[in-house]
A and B are shown apart, each in its own frame.
Chain A
Amino acid sequence: MAANPIACASCGSGLCGGKGRETFYQGTWANNPISIQVLGICSALAVTTTLANSLIMGLALIFVTGMSNLIISLLRATIPRKVRMIAEVAVIATFVILFDQLLKAFYFSMSERLGPYVGLIITNCIVMGRAEAFALTNPPLLSVVDGLANGIGYAFVLAIIGTFRELVGDGKILGFTVLSEGWYVKNQLMILAPGAFIALGFLIAAFNYINARGQKAEAKS
């Protein structure tokens, strides 16, 4: 009796051939699209002025990478090699437009705030990169795991930067005042793009430090 396919990401068997857990770990942490591969930086810097913006943007990317990886993986035997990029972009653009329209319909103020950056996910290196590097050569379910994992990896880095920038730059988290204006002086650098660069730099440094410590501990044991 085959294992339950839904549990494959954790059980290490089933349709994804035992690679689910490793793929998830690679996408979210070990090969994190932002902190390790340093992809998709443009949107990460542009939309992280508040936590809410970061969360919606992260959600958009999880949706797009997951769905586009699924479709491209299903079509991987059909897509001619020479036109594969155009085919990939067509699939990705479909899901991006879908998300953009949903956002406009149900959360218009957020759509206004994110401006062109939702549409620009079409050209986001992470989505394209996962399609090229993973979905074209792997089975559908594993590709979905990979797409979701990379989306989650992107989203959680964005959430950290967004929290930090909103808190330090505006004294708020998700729009609620945490640091009162009575005593807290807003650091306006954090609202501007250079502040995002600096925050991201420190975050990557922290991740590298954690990884280096992990490797040291592994080498010892």
Chain B
Amino acid sequence: MSIRGFFEKHSHHFHGQGRLAPLKPLYEAVENFMLSPLSRTKSAPHVRDPLDVKRYMSMVIIGLLPAALAGWYFFGLRVLAMIAVSYAIGGAIEVAFAVVRKEEINEGFLVTGLLFPMILPPTLPLWMVALGVAFGVLVGKELFGGTGRNLFNPALIGRCFLAIAYPTAMASYLDPVKAWPGRLFQWAGSALSDATTNPTPLSQAKRVIAGGGELTPISDLLWGSVSGSVGETSAILLIVGGVFLLLTRVGNYRTTVSMLGAFAILESILHLADPGRFVGPLWHLLAGGMLLGAFFMATDPVTGPVTGGGKWVYGALIGVSAALIRNLTGYVEGVMFAILLGNIFAPVIDEVFIRRRLAALARQDVIAPERGQPPGQQGNVWFEGKANEEAAQQ
């Protein structure tokens, strides 16, 4: 049943003499959140499913919520404060740009605002959260023209900025409380006031390889009772949210599958080559930010390629880079750098696939032969095509 169908089916409860009529405002708020608020025609012609930016973003937030709640459970009330700060500061910048540019306020920030605290250490001082989200939104998105035009994932740009600017604070992680009720009602101190530096599973793995201690068990990685960034610890909840995204087709399965697949294959090869130096592929898939990155960040439709084949290449590029950075460099985690690297290559990957497709179409006489030639020889077909369309309209 489609989401729209669900709302249509239950809407009569909230309207007129329905049982839940007093709750109509709540119903409308939820409907607005999930669907386009525009009133629609009751007779033909119908647009069957007006998927817009807002609903797209709402789906990602719903997918992220389980992991975010797990972050609250494991790392305390501070997580909620981090999310609030991220939304407040990032939202303010978004609104300021919308006002100056005289544009509508875009929903695009809803995801960045939640995604950003998810990839930060839970002890990070709140002013750093504010600075990071401000940098991410300003430099990572608005300078490129706002939502839909950014080259890089704004949340990752913000994190990258913080990781380079404040390496000490960005490496202080909190050990999660394992017994119920976790830290649901606790406020954990900030990284600056009390230095609580616990090894994350990945940094622990580097120590184990160097010859000391024990590897984090896979069961802990699944549940999430390990130290790490706020929203990256609970593998099960990330998979639940991620599969939800893939099923609603908000996240494209090609990117996720090829990213996780390429990563797992390379990890397996490394593990088989030298089990003493490289931990197994399943462990690596569940540890660190791999799942969060594969389900929620690499699938970003703005910063990834648009062509289907391009998505396979893009995912594989990220997966391979992440495995290489994790295992063969001084860095403990490589998913952030890998995705940013993928972002850089996304337009080039698209270009290659579009050219191949055009050449194939030209060979089949679907389009004029000269449009299948590389742009250097006949100008950029896309810009020319756009110009022709515009000329035709006028």
Structural contact, B139 and A187, CB atoms closer than 8 A = no
Pick from B128, B161, B169, B192: contact of A189, CB below 8 A: B161
Closest to A187 in B: B165
Interface centre among B165, B166, B169, B192, by most chain A C-beta atoms within 10 angstroms, is B165
A188 CB within 8 Å of chain B: yes
How does the 8 Å CB contact mask read for B117-159 relative to A, with 1 for contact and 0 for none? 0000000000010000000000100000000000000000000
Separation of A103 and B166 alpha carbons in the complex (Å): 35
Separation of A198 and B157 alpha carbons in the complex (Å): 13
Pick from B128, B167, B192: contact of A188, CB below 8 A: B167
B38 CB within 8 Å of chain A: no
Structural contact, B164 and A192, CB atoms closer than 8 A = yes
Structural contact, B139 and A190, CB atoms closer than 8 A = no
Question: Which residues on the B side are within 8 Å of A194 (C-beta)?
Answer: 164
Separation of A189 and B164 alpha carbons in the complex (Å): 6
Question: Which residues on the A side are within 8 Å of B192 (C-beta)?
Answer: 185
Structural contact, A185 and B169, CB atoms closer than 8 A = yes
Separation of A189 and B128 alpha carbons in the complex (Å): 13
Separation of A190 and B161 alpha carbons in the complex (Å): 10
Closest to A205 in B: B143
Question: Which residues on the B side are within 8 Å of A185 (C-beta)?
Answer: 128, 166, 169, 192
User: B153-199: which have CB < 8 Å to A?
Assistant: 161, 164-167, 169, 192
Closest to A188 in B: B165
Interface size of B in residues (CB-CB distance below 8 Å): 9
Question: Which residues on the B side are within 8 Å of A189 (C-beta)?
Answer: 161, 164-165
How does the 8 Å CB contact mask read for A185-210 relative to B, with 1 for contact and 0 for none? 10111101011001000000000000
Separation of A185 and B170 alpha carbons in the complex (Å): 13
Closest to A169 in B: B165
Interface centre among B128, B166, B167, by most chain A C-beta atoms within 10 angstroms, is B166
Closest to A192 in B: B164
Measured CB to CB, the closest approach of chain B to A208, in angstroms, equals 13
Q: Which residues of A contact B (CB under 8 A)?
A: 185, 187-190, 192, 194-195, 198
Measured CB to CB, the closest approach of chain B to A197, in angstroms, equals 11
Q: Which residues of B contact A (CB under 8 A)?
A: 128, 139, 161, 164-167, 169, 192
Pick from A187, A192, A195, A198: contact of B166, CB below 8 A: A187
Closest to B165 in A: A189
Closest to B169 in A: A185
Separation of A74 and B80 alpha carbons in the complex (Å): 71
Closest to B167 in A: A188
Measured CB to CB, the closest approach of chain A to B191, in angstroms, equals 10
Closest to B125 in A: A185
Q: A185-B169, A188-B166 are in contact. List 10 more A-B contacts (CB 8 A).
A: A185-B128, A185-B166, A185-B192, A188-B164, A189-B161, A189-B164, A189-B165, A190-B165, A192-B164, A198-B139
Interface centre among A185, A188, A192, by most chain B C-beta atoms within 10 angstroms, is A185
Interface centre among A187, A192, A198, by most chain B C-beta atoms within 10 angstroms, is A187
Separation of A160 and B273 alpha carbons in the complex (Å): 53
Question: Which residues on the B side are within 8 Å of A195 (C-beta)?
Answer: 165
Some 18 contacts from A to B, beta carbons below 8 A apart, are A185-B128, A185-B166, A185-B169, A185-B192, A187-B165, A187-B166, A188-B164, A188-B165, A188-B166, A188-B167, A189-B161, A189-B164, A189-B165, A190-B165, A192-B164, A194-B164, A195-B165, A198-B139
Question: Which residues on the B side are within 8 Å of A190 (C-beta)?
Answer: 165
Separation of A194 and B169 alpha carbons in the complex (Å): 20
Closest to B127 in A: A185
Separation of A176 and B39 alpha carbons in the complex (Å): 63
Separation of A188 and B166 alpha carbons in the complex (Å): 6
Question: Which residues on the A side are within 8 Å of B161 (C-beta)?
Answer: 189
Closest to A190 in B: B165
Measured CB to CB, the closest approach of chain B to A102, in angstroms, equals 37
Question: Which residues on the B side are within 8 Å of A188 (C-beta)?
Answer: 164-167
Separation of A188 and B128 alpha carbons in the complex (Å): 13
Separation of A192 and B164 alpha carbons in the complex (Å): 9
Question: Which residues on the B side are within 8 Å of A187 (C-beta)?
Answer: 165-166
Question: Which residues on the A side are within 8 Å of B167 (C-beta)?
Answer: 188
Measured CB to CB, the closest approach of chain A to B220, in angstroms, equals 32
Closest to A198 in B: B139
Measured CB to CB, the closest approach of chain B to A179, in angstroms, equals 14
Closest to A194 in B: B164
Closest to B139 in A: A198
Separation of A195 and B161 alpha carbons in the complex (Å): 9
Separation of A49 and B291 alpha carbons in the complex (Å): 38
Separation of A198 and B192 alpha carbons in the complex (Å): 26
Closest to B161 in A: A189
Separation of A188 and B162 alpha carbons in the complex (Å): 9
Separation of A87 and B359 alpha carbons in the complex (Å): 52
Measured CB to CB, the closest approach of chain B to A142, in angstroms, equals 39
Separation of A185 and B127 alpha carbons in the complex (Å): 11
Question: Which residues on the A side are within 8 Å of B166 (C-beta)?
Answer: 185, 187-188
Measured CB to CB, the closest approach of chain A to B57, in angstroms, equals 28
Measured CB to CB, the closest approach of chain B to A23, in angstroms, equals 34
Question: Which residues on the A side are within 8 Å of B139 (C-beta)?
Answer: 198
Question: Which residues on the A side are within 8 Å of B164 (C-beta)?
Answer: 188-189, 192, 194
Separation of A191 and B13 alpha carbons in the complex (Å): 61
Separation of A190 and B128 alpha carbons in the complex (Å): 15
Separation of A188 and B169 alpha carbons in the complex (Å): 12
Measured CB to CB, the closest approach of chain B to A151, in angstroms, equals 31
Measured CB to CB, the closest approach of chain B to A188, in angstroms, equals 6
Question: Which residues on the B side are within 8 Å of A198 (C-beta)?
Answer: 139
Separation of A194 and B139 alpha carbons in the complex (Å): 13
